[in-house]
Structure 1
Amino acid sequence: MSDHISGPRALSDPIADITDVYAFPSPEDPGRLVLVLNTLPMAKPTDLFSAGLLYRFRLRPLAPEASEGPGWGFAPGAEEVVLDCVFDRPEHVTDPTTGRPGHAQTGSCISPLGERVSFRVNDENGGAGSGMRVFAGVRWDPFIMDARAALATIATRKLAFTESGSIFLDGKNVLSIVVEIDTGALPGWTLVGVVAETLTRGEFNVRIERVGRPEVKNMMLAPKDFDQVNRDLEIRDLYNMEDVFRPGESYAGAFRARLDANLAFWDGLDGKQDWPVAEGDSHPLTDLVLADYLVVDVTKPYVEQGSFLEIELAARRGEPHETSGGRTLNDDVMDTIFTLLVNAGRGPTIRDGVDAATRPGTVTFPYLATPNPNPPEPPEHH
């Protein structure tokens, strides 16, 4: 699920629902950073982007946060690079091969240097200019997890993963935006925090969704039964409203109570406590989760597997990190997340039984695999 269908508003307006966010050095050019925003769960091959939305990447430089003991903290700087992408209303066209009527769409993104780069939706070559390359269109959904087993784990209070898991609705599509920028547009930056957002388009922009790391909302914030403070509160839409780089205080206590309770549940699934809680039952992972942006070292090269959370975990140990961090398309991040939640990395890997996508991402632009022309039909309640 990653961030698929992550709250009432995402369910009611799936066109604005961000399913996943990725950030990694380009495998083709180490001097470039690749940013991916996937939206619209279970997209049809003919689906197009909304002309009423603003699709946004936000990047800020990060510096290690001073702390007396082990910590996760990276303090975001005040400087920010914003990459906004918008789309025109679809045009009626006729397929020159089949003669059938259809639709085409044009989009554009503003580069870090302020240039507007235009492109045609579903054009494999995308658009380029001013140190930036952009693709937008329907692609194979790269997210991998045995979602049914994860939900069964929460429902039964027992680990429900098996050796051979299955990807929920394998072969589903998403609408994807891929932006590749020269790292020279981030002068002097080494560690970068990355978050993606969908907002209403116009003079007044209202944030609909924001996503950094996977499964924060669905696996860590959604379950209510363990939270004795706000047990009846659907909290995910409130979470989307918060600016991750400038969090407010109004709902901070509610977010912390929910995370402290749910993270303790995950920790106890192996029958022991691997994350000792602090005074007031504060869970050590809560601060990491609330700093909900991908952490990327733009000076290090692309690594296919094992970079997700590597920078944060190294910081916790007080050691230098070794990889670019961030999140790549083919990294099996859910095994990393479940292992961190359940045994703090001190025990065996907690596998969900799914190790790779049926159609993995590639190492050439636009990186995501071509879409499924006959995607599975979603359940009726979706």
Structure 2
Amino acid sequence: MSDHISGPRALANPIADITDVYAFPSPERPGWLVLVLNTLPMAKPSDLFSEGLLYRFRLRPLHQPSPNDAGWGFVPGDEEIVVECVFDAPDDAPGNAEEQPSRQQQGTCSGPSGSISFSVNDPDGGAGNGMRVFAGTRWDPFIMDARAALATIATRKLAFTDPGSIFLDGKNVLSIVVEIDTSLLPGGDLVGVVAETLTRGTFNVRIERVGRPEVKNMMLAPKDFDPVNRDLEIRDLYNMDNAFHLGDSYLGAYRARLDANLAFWDALDGKMDWPIDTNGHHPLTDLVLADYLIVDVTKPYLEHGSFLEIELAARRGEAHQTCGGRTLNDDVMDTIFTQLVNAGQGPTIRDGVDSATQQASGNFPYLATPNPNPPEPPEHH
């Protein structure tokens, strides 16, 4: 679910649908940052990237207004590093007498110090100009009992079980993995990371943008609790906005939706752990709207426990201890649900799923090899 099928345009154009974004220090090369963009929910092993899309990472330095500012308070700088991947139309490679021709595809990745070319599904990818790149089909690493999460919203009661199950376990995604030398990044320890898909050509239209998981599907999608915009499908509007600089046009609608939905999640354990302010605003709304991963590129890779650690430490007015960001094997949904329901002041809210069936490795390109026989996707009506 993370960001799978996160709005009408994503459902209509699944090739442009971002499912997940990850950012973490390289576990095998200190001084390098790994960026992962997964697209196309329920990809077939033979699926390839669209030559009509631009796949983009945007990175900006982050700073806090003052050292004593306790709050979410991370302000993006104006400087921006952009890493973009584009793909050629596939070529048919000749097969032998028993085989169908295989389709091959080339890609190009451009970063702050130049471009590199690579072949899709080549596990070694391409390297040069301070970057290393892989693109191809991989096992979807996202971990969550999506059915139970949706049942929680529908029934107004926590519906997680132990054990839970990963929805359509074994599904694949199209994955882009970029490893970049941190000396090429904007100055400062903290970097904000967002990924986007856009139309390719002289006029680029953003189709999707993703920072943290489940912002759109779990926090923005439910309409029933919103007293202001109850009939509004808000996610496509949200996708069109700039993650680092939200426009004023729909900001009030986002806030109303989040204030209402975050209050719903908080009430599920029968008590309020996030007090609403006098204007009816939920304390988490500003954090959710700052929708980018926050990574400390000077700290070492940490497999588990870094997700939201930087943000929560800032909220307490303390120095963070980890690299932050999001790693491939970290069970971040338990972290998210626990913060939503009890602000970390009660038991861990587990969805009953703790790891993927095929875990990511510590070696490039990190994600597990694709499932040759993935489950059939459900029909949409």
TM-score range, shorter chain: over 0.9
1:303, CA displacement in angstroms?
Answer: 0.3
Q: Give the corresponding residue for 2:36.
A: 36
Equivalent residue, structure 2, for 1:285: 284
Offset of 1:144 from its aligned partner? Answer: 0.5
Number of the residue aligned with 1:157: 156
Tell me how far apart the structure 2 counterparts of residues 159 and 244 of structure 1 sit (CA, whole Å): 30
* Partner of residue 216, structure 2: 217
2:4 aligned partner, one-letter code: H
Equivalences for 1:24-103 in 2 at 5 Å? 24-66=24-66, 70-95=70-95, 99-103=99-103
Which residue matches 1:339? 338
**Mapped pair 1:358 → 2:354:** no
Work out the CA distance in 2 between the residues paired with 1:239 and 1:187. 26
Superposition deviation, residue 163 in structure 1: 1.3
> Displacement of 1:75 after TM fit?
0.4
Residue type at the aligned position of 1:232: D
Match of 1:176 in 2: 175
Secondary structure in structure 1 of the residue aligned to 2:237: helix
Counterpart AA for 1:267: D
Matches of 1:224 and 1:81, distance apart in 2: 36
Cα RMSD for the two superposed structures = 1.2
Structure-2 residue corresponding to 1:234: 233
In structure 2, how many angstroms separate the alpha carbons of the residues matched to 1:61 and 1:96?
A: 51
Structure 1 counterpart of 2:323: 324
Question: Deviations along 1:274-305, whole A, 9 cap, x unmatched?
Answer: 00001221000000000000000000000000
State yes or no: 1:276 paired with 2:275.
yes
Kindly tell me: are residues 83 and 96 of structure 1, through their superposed partners in 2, closer, same or farther at Cα, counting changes over 3 Å? farther
1:43-82 CA-to-partner distances (Å, cap 9, x unmatched) read: 0000000000000000000001349863112000000000
TM-score w.r.t. length of structure 1: 0.98
SS in 2 for 1:301: coil
Tell me the CA shift for residue 97 of structure 1.
Answer: 9.2
Identity of aligned residues (%): 78
Q: Amino acid of the residue matched to residue 304 of structure 1?
A: E
| Structure-2 separation of matches of 1:97 and 1:210 | 44
Letter in 2 for 1:311: I
Partner SS state of residue 178, structure 1? strand
Q: Deviations over 1:196-224 (max 9, x none)?
A: 00000000100000000000000000000
- Tell me the number of residue pairs that the alignment of Structure 1 and Structure 2 aligns: 381
For 1:110, the equivalent position in structure 2 comes to 110
Q: Distance in 2 between matches of 1:127 and 1:142?
A: 23
* 1:206 maps onto 2:212 in alignment: no
Query: How much does 1:158 deviate?
Result: 0.1
Q: Find the counterpart in structure 2 of residue 143 from structure 1.
A: 142
2:17 paired residue number: 17
- 2:254 corresponding residue in structure 1: 255
Cα deviation, residue 381, structure 1: 1.1
Q: Which structure 2 residues correspond to residues 121-132 of structure 1 after superposition, within 5 A?
A: 121-132=120-131
Measure the CA separation in 2 of the matches of 1:49 and 1:220.
29
- Mapped to 1, the partners of 2:337 and 2:93 lie a distance apart of 47
1:186 and 1:216 map into 2 onto residues whose CA distance is: 26
Cα separation, 2, equivalents of 1:99 and 1:9: 36
Q: Which moves more between the two structures, 218-227 or 87-96?
A: 87-96
> TM-score when scaled to structure 2?
0.98
- 1:381 counterpart residue number: 380
**Matched residues in 2 for 1:256 and 1:380: separation?**
33
SS at match of 1:62: strand
Residue identity opposite 1:6 in structure 2: S
Give, in whole Å, the separation in 1 of the partners of 2:80 and 2:116.
Answer: 20
What is the CA-CA distance between 1:322 and the residue it aligns to?
A: 0.5
Deviations 1:7-51 (A, max 9, x none): 000000000000000000000011100000000000000000000
In structure 2, C-alpha distance between the alignment counterparts of 1:312 and 1:279, rounded to whole Å? 23
Q: Deviations over 1:314-371 (max 9, x none)?
A: 0000000010000000000000000000000000000000000000011000000000
CA–CA distance in structure 2, aligned partners of residues 344 and 188 of structure 1: 32
Task: Rate the CA distance shift 1:233–1:279 in 2: closer, same or farther, 3 A.
Answer: same
Q: Distance in 1 between matches of 2:252 and 2:142?
A: 31
Render the CA deviation track for 1:154-201: whole Å, top value 9, x for unaligned: 000000001100000000000000000000102532100000000000
Write the letter of the residue equivalent to 1:117.
Answer: I
> 1:50 is matched by which residue type in structure 2?
S
Shift of 1:270: 0.1
Structure 1 CA distance, aligned partners of 2:68 and 2:260? 25
Q: Tell me if structure 1 keeps the 8 A contact 2:79–2:186.
A: no
**Residue type of the alignment partner of 2:18:** I
Task: Give the whole-Å Cα distance in 2 for the aligned partners of 1:251 and 1:82.
Answer: 26
- Aligned residue identity for 2:331: D
Aligned counterparts of 1:110 and 1:249: Cα–Cα separation in 2: 31
